[in-house]
Amino acid sequence: MTTQEVANQLVKLCREGKFEQVLTELYAPDIMSVEPEGSTWPTVQGMAQIMKKGEIWTKMVEEVLESEISEPIVADTFFSITMKSRVKIKDVSEPIRMDEVCVYQVRDGKVVLEQFFYQPVMQEA
C-alpha cells in the first residue's frame, strides 16, 4: 500500500473504533511508538509492547464520550492526523479532553513509527 492508502485505512479503522485491527493490519512488527516528554506513557518498540499499551488504555477508559479524527495530511512516507476526544476514565469523576497530533511513517506499506504530540498532564509526586 502507498502512504496515502495506509493513512486512509488507518483513519477509517480508527473512526470505526477498530484499533486492534489497525495494529494487526497496518503496523510493522518492529513499530516504534514515541510519546511526548513528561507523559506517563512510555516510548516503546515492537508489536507486543504496542498491544500492551493498548490493553492498558482499554482497561482505563470507561466510556468514549466524543471522538473526532481528522483527514490525513500526507507528505512522502509520512502522514499526520489530529485526534480529539473526551473520555471517562475509571475512578475519575470528571471526563478528560484529549487533543493530539499524531505523526506516522510508512515503509513497505506498513507503519514503522508513530509519534504523538500533546500536552501531558503533569502528575503530582
Q: How confident is the model over 34-91, as pLDDT tens digits?
A: 999 988 888 999 999 999 988 888 888 888 899 999 999 999 999 999 999 998 988 8
Span 118-122, mean pLDDT? Answer: 75
Confidence at residue 2, expressed as pLDDT on a 0 to 100 scale: 97
Q: Which three cell numbers stand for residue 49?
A: 509492547
CA angle 65, 92, 10 (to 5 degrees): 40
The predicted structure's pLDDT at residue 1: 94
Helices 47-60 and 19-26 sit at what angle, rounded to 10 degrees?
180
The pTM for the full model equals 0.90
109/93 Cα distance (integer angstroms) = 42
Residues 6+ apart with CB under 8 A from 121: 40, 96
Each residue's pLDDT tens digit, 89-106: 888 888 889 899 999 999
